[in-house]
Structure 1
Amino acid sequence: MADSGGEQTKTRDVDELLADVDDITADDGDTTTGSSTDTADRVGSREHVSRGTDQGGSGLRDRAEQMFSLRTFVVALALTAVGMALGGFAPLVGGLLGFVGVFVATFVLGLVGDRSHYPETGVASAAVAGGWSVLGNVTLIAVGLGVPLIAVNAGIGLLAGLVGHYFGRDLRDGLTREI
């Protein structure tokens, strides 16, 4: 089905926010190369480009975007930062609850996403945990003792993010599988 802009409309859900938006990003640059006489020709050429079956460089670009989506990374980064911050506000156990917040944030990403996003959630959770460690230990970093602490916190954040995403994907699979 085509709307007035000539783009193919799809059912919108949470995965549309998290998954590839190849139709939007890849087609903006490709609108001048397609046929401008018929809307069906434009939709057909966009489907051809989004499948990655053309001979140009966009096939490699599509495969790279399937492996690591920048939009998914930004969403994962924002959610894990919010989870780390909310967990980190608790006195005395804020460090531990910050990692629980990362786990919960990536769990939600795994639960609502249609595809797995392990690279995005792993990098985002490690970056947020490492960044939180930098902000919390500026004095140790200035002295030179903070680098191992940052590495350990980033590793724990990476583990919490990947495990949270795994359990979210597993629950989603269990909820959506037919009995």
Structure 2
Amino acid sequence: MADSGGERTKTRDVDDLLADVDDITVDDGDATTGSSTGTADRVDNRERASRGTDQGGSRLRDRAGQLFSLRTFVVALALTAVGMALGGFVPLVGGVLGFVGVFVATFVLGAVGDRSQYLEAGIASAAVAGGWSLFGNLTLVAVGAGLPLLAVNAGIGLLAGLVGHYFGRDLRDGLTREI
């Protein structure tokens, strides 16, 4: 009990010191007024201005961070690339199993992740499937006849990735829900 009371005093002391520093460092170009109410008004105005700027910028960063996570995208890209490669090594059915590998990779991402990452999983799946198609049919793409094939494979990869992530999220929800 005594420790928490001591911590409160320390916190108030630090806050008081910070307020004193703010009072000393306020620069308004007017050296004629030295009243505490003028200083308090200036400090309040600065705090309001800094809160508005900080909140606006951090809100935008928070929303962007909630919509798209670069770290999750890189993980999804690596998982889908490994899934596509492992599925693609099987002779005769490697093309189809590559998309099954994308499905499994995004399924794992959905089952393990603590939040839904549809955007990252979808973009990574489409990019890997499109890239796989690009390098697998480089001659057709160079001639121009392979672009529809590239688009179809990227679309199938996108669909496989989103469906895999959906089922992974559904499994996670089913396993973690209370009965």
The structure whose Rg is larger is 2
Instruction: Point out where structure 1 has 5 or more consecutive residues left out of the alignment.
Output: 1-36, 39-52
**2:147 corresponds to 1:143:** no
TM-score normalised according to structure 2 size: 0.70
Between Structure 1 and Structure 2, the one with more helix by share is 2
Cα offsets for 1:11-54 (capped at 9, x unmatched): xxxxxxxxxxxxxxxxxxxxxxxxxx79xxxxxxxxxxxxxx94
Query: Please, what is the CA RMSD of the aligned residues?
Result: 1.5
Q: Where does residue 68 of structure 2 map in the other structure?
A: 68
What are the equivalent positions in structure 2 for 1:20-169 lying under 5 Å apart?
54-169=54-169
**How many angstroms does 1:62 deviate by?**
1.1
Q: Distance in 2 between matches of 1:98 and 1:162?
A: 15
Counterpart CA distance in 1 for 2:139 and 2:172 is 43
Residue 56 of structure 1 deviates from its aligned partner by 3.9
Q: Runs (4+) of structure 1 moved beyond 4 Å?
A: none
With normalisation by structure 1, the TM-score equals: 0.70
Deviation of 1:171 after TM superposition, in Å, equals 0.4
Residue-by-residue CA offset, 1:76-104 (whole Å, 9 max, x unaligned): 00000000000000111000000000000
Q: What is the distance in 2 between the residues matched to 1:148 and 1:176?
A: 42
Following the alignment from structure 1 to structure 2, what is the Cα–Cα distance between the partners of residues 62 and 151? 33
Distance 1:114 1:88 in 2: 29
SS in 2 for 1:57: helix
CA distance in 1, matches of 2:154, 2:77: 13
- Number of residue pairs the alignment of both structures matches: 129
Q: Write out per-residue CA displacement over residues 76-133 of structure 1, whole angstroms, 9 at most, x where no aligned residue.
A: 0000000000000011100000000000000000000110000000000000000000
Q: CA deviation at 1:139?
A: 1.1
SS of structure 1 residue aligned to 2:91: coil
- Deviation (angstroms), 1:143: 1.4
Identity, % of aligned pairs? 86
Instruction: Describe the superposition over 1:130-153 as per-residue Cα deviations: whole angstroms up to 9, x where unpaired.
Output: 000001001111211010000000
